[in-house]
Chain A
């Protein structure tokens, strides 16, 4: 058996004929600045080839003739990628519990061992499906198992009695289908939709407008008609829902029938150990484990199995999650560890695992745990290759590969391979100087003063594990929120502060999330800020074809530039031809450029679309060039390349690209598909988008969640500079963060703890980084730089 995996002449993407040899049964870290080619080497070369060979060998896959991206790879065994990016998904029904199949086991437990409340016990045996929200037997019939319902605020729609009939519901009646039908209704009941104001109408007439006239006129009334539109009855446009939400006339609320459980009555009235299945699914995994361990006996194999799975979740550091947590709300790191847990349960050896920054989202204490688990994998005969920036993780690696020297076309070269100690001495690497403290990460020592009159005060926060928390959040500075996973950082910020801000600031609070929930807490001090931007790690854009260019608005301008070329004008082409979502999209792959084939076990293989050759465009669109580049070639450019290309052509585009570069996204391709963009990258792109809109905005609050995720030291430093600049302009920043370097550069830190779940939920320390270092109660203090 060979002892090394030897790759010769790898040249995919920006890789420049890379030769490496990776020792088997060891932990190898591939590091380097963002965009230097780490992922190209680990995932696009090693993993792709490992997967291909294994699938070919097992006979489940046909041969795909691709242009080889390397000369040879020897020593491969079956390869498993534990990526953050491919498994990012947005099926809202997928939860932690369903993903690792514990939910199905819980359903079986309840169906067989549940205690039913007398009132609902009708003697008919229970059924597993009755505890599953995705089954028609179990789901709530009102919300279809979603637990939330769209609620139209009838009073708000008709509150303004001075408005004309045609202006009701954001001018819904002024156009199209609604206009004709509404005119008919008005005619039948002596109203004039253009001239009559609501205050001129009788109660009966208002009622006709709201609920129709029982079929005399074609118009159903505004309330049914709007529900019909927003529930997709006329197609999938979300415009009206968006307008009404912004106008505060439409809210997503907890379903009134099932109280958010998504289940029917039987399930909500059956208990195990005094708890309903919903209550168990909302418990933190480590509390849940304790709950089951207390009730375990040798007779119940189901319980034993559940306990094994839960213990594994705790081992990989996911004890702070609840089974009900939707998978799309997990951070990339959490998703990765979720999959890691399922691999550990499987107990395989001789597998090559490829990880993508496994330490993301982990507190320093938890990182040590993870490193132990990864070592366990290696000790049991596996090979682990991780793309990683974390200092601690690298120190524990057996072998280091450094890519560089810079990003994109200026990267793709192997700078170093070998042991960690030698690596510190490496002169050409951009990473090693930070590790050897030769350069050292810039650490702030002058903290901005705290203005006691400009504070957000959040009090009586009790959601999840928070224990009636009161916090003072200074404005006009950079505030870090720290704490181990599950200590209540997210409960405090995303689940209490953010909903509260949304409630109070309404449309002045910009966020991707449309669900508005009311939380019981008190927030004062918002008069000190003008706007609020919530910049999370959710994927950018909603469609398959969205990418950084479309999301930031660059693409609309690029298309206009294309349509304005002489060539395009001659042919009569409009901007629509240059969009794959419009006329320009290839008919076969619908603009994807690739066709998916399912190869079993949840794996897909993508093959270039034959019709468009992988471009996603019809040939007409590809023929038009702008300064020698066609639309596809533009989308293939990295932000850095595009910046040079557009400098003389379009100021707005150049401005946005500059900001993208400054947030560390210089390496990303304009047309990079959303599913391949990590959570950290999404967040930085969103930040860039908001910054490009109004750089001189003052008095805004930015709420970020681990913004340096996935960035090398070098790029993190640049991002921090930018954030500091924002604060200098008079804005405020709140960052939820684990990274000791970033925290050390905050002006003020609020630390939650001390443990996770029920052991957390309190503020254990606050103050500037220096104060925390000297505070014995602080856990993060001793890791600060």
Chain B
């Protein structure tokens, strides 16, 4: 049976009404490209936490450019609030800890990752200062806890080393891959934070990408930073970024990974999944709802078709 029809039937059978795009690429060629709900190849969809992984690539760029010397640099070098010893552990927190979600700063993700603590931060006048006030409940580097604080702090770091975080990513990644994105949302207190929690669609939609753009990022991952005959990011970093860490074997540097795959995951079904042995890249996009659906089964269904 035709692979397109099989995917369509699967989506229909499962009644996945929020799934908007499914793309499968093998050996750098698109072998299936399905759109639903009026989507097409130019339609843009929220990327949610896929932005975290893109920021991780940003760290790779910063390393290549010598903007940071190592991911073991303490963040207090870049964020002055962490120099004030509001918490005795602050000076120990490094960029690596942010990348691996092990800063140890207090975080409660809430039910379905609704992030109750985020609301308080958004209400505050200075987000970074608010996070600096949060108590550190685990020694940095010891305990994995998926949280927004760490990427918000990472955004601040990436924004402090050169001119601007978005410019860094746009000039050195997006443009080289042919990705067109609006300038990401920046809070009034000057913090890039793209992964808003859905109630600020306007701000969030700035970072939206098409399915094909997502696929390009997947292809870059599969090729360890090599794209269009050019090493865009050093392969060392790209490899490290998807290698399991001690604190969580399913997580690298803001990248997820499993037994035979690695990739990016965003709330509500945004996926860029790379299966290196099969030279496969699979992308899904969906309209995020409060139920926080993942549609991971769609990925594994597609893999089974190839």
Contacts and interface: CB of A to CB of B under 8 A. Distances in A.
Interface residues of A, number: 32
Q: Which of the listed residues A135, A143, A214 has the most CB atoms from chain B within 10 Å of its own CB?
A: A214
A224 interface: yes
A471 interface: no
Contacts of A127: 119
Given A120-B123, A265-B123, A266-B120, A215 B130 contact: no
B252 to A, nearest CB: 20
B240 interface: no
B87 to A, nearest CB: 8
Contact of B117 (A137, A142, A228): A137
Interface in A196-253: 211-212, 214-215, 220-221, 223-224, 227-228, 231, 233
A235 to B, nearest CB: 14
Given A120-B123, A141-B130, A136 B88 contact: no
What band does the interface of chain B fall in when counting residues whose beta carbon is under 8 Å from A?
Answer: 20 to 34
Contacts of A220: 89, 92, 139
Contact of A141 (B74, B89, B134): B134
Contact of A214 (B92, B119, B120): B92
Contacts of B74: 214
Contact of B89 (A119, A224, A266): A224
Given A215-B72, A224-B92, A265-B124, A142 B119 contact: no
Nearest to A121: B123
A142 B122 contact: no
A214 B91 contact: yes
B304 interface: no
Contact of A266 (B92, B123, B134): B123
B106 interface: yes
Contact of A124 (B92, B108, B123, B134): B123
A231 B91 CA distance: 19
B90 to A, nearest CB: 9
Q: Do most interface residues of chain A lie in helix, strand or loop, or is the interface mixed?
A: loop
Nearest to B73: A214
Given A122-B123, A220-B92, A227-B88, A142 B72 contact: no
B92 A212 contact: yes
A211 B91 contact: yes
A589 B110 CA distance: 32
Given A124-B122, A136-B116, A142 B135 contact: yes
Given A127-B119, A136-B108, A137-B117, A142 B124 contact: no
Contacts, number: 71
Contacts of B117: 136-137, 141
Contacts of B138: 233
A509 interface: no
Contact of B139 (A136, A137, A233): A233
Q: Which of the listed residues A141, A223, A228 has the most CB atoms from chain B within 10 Å of its own CB?
A: A141
Contacts of B108: 136
B6 interface: no
A144 B133 CA distance: 11
A129 interface: yes
Interface string A408-451: 00000000000000000000000000000000000000000000
A482 to B, nearest CB: 43
Nearest to A223: B88
A130 B88 contact: no
A559 interface: no
Given A137-B116, A141-B130, A144-B106, A264 B135 contact: no
Given A124-B122, A211-B91, A224-B89, A257 B116 contact: no
Contacts of A215: 72, 92, 94
Interface in B79-138: 88-89, 91-92, 94, 106, 108, 110, 116-117, 119-120, 122-125, 130, 133-135, 137-138
Interface in A232-286: 233, 257, 264-266
Contact of A142 (B88, B89, B91, B133): B133
Interface string A127-162: 101100001111001111000000010000000000
Given A127-B119, A141-B117, A257 B133 contact: yes
Given A120-B123, A220-B92, A224-B89, A136 B110 contact: yes
Nearest to B149: A141
A309 B289 CA distance: 41
Contact of B120 (A137, A143, A231): A137
B107 to A, nearest CB: 9
B139 A228 contact: yes
Nearest to B134: A141
Q: Which of the listed residues A124, A142, A144 has the most CB atoms from chain B within 10 Å of its own CB?
A: A142
B83 to A, nearest CB: 12
Given A130-B120, A214-B92, A220-B139, 13 more contacts: A119-B125, A120-B123, A136-B116, A136-B117, A141-B106, A141-B134, A141-B135, A215-B92, A233-B138, A264-B120, A265-B120, A265-B124, A265-B125
Top 8 nearest A-B pairs (CB, nearest first) are A136-B116, A141-B134, A136-B108, A224-B88, A137-B116, A223-B88, A264-B120, A266-B123
Interface of A: 119-120, 122, 124, 127, 129-130, 135-138, 141-144, 152, 211-212, 214-215, 220-221, 223-224, 227-228, 231, 233, 257, 264-266
20 contacts: A119-B125, A122-B122, A129-B116, A130-B119, A135-B116, A136-B116, A137-B119, A138-B120, A141-B106, A141-B117, A141-B134, A144-B135, A152-B88, A214-B91, A215-B92, A233-B138, A264-B120, A264-B124, A265-B125, A266-B120
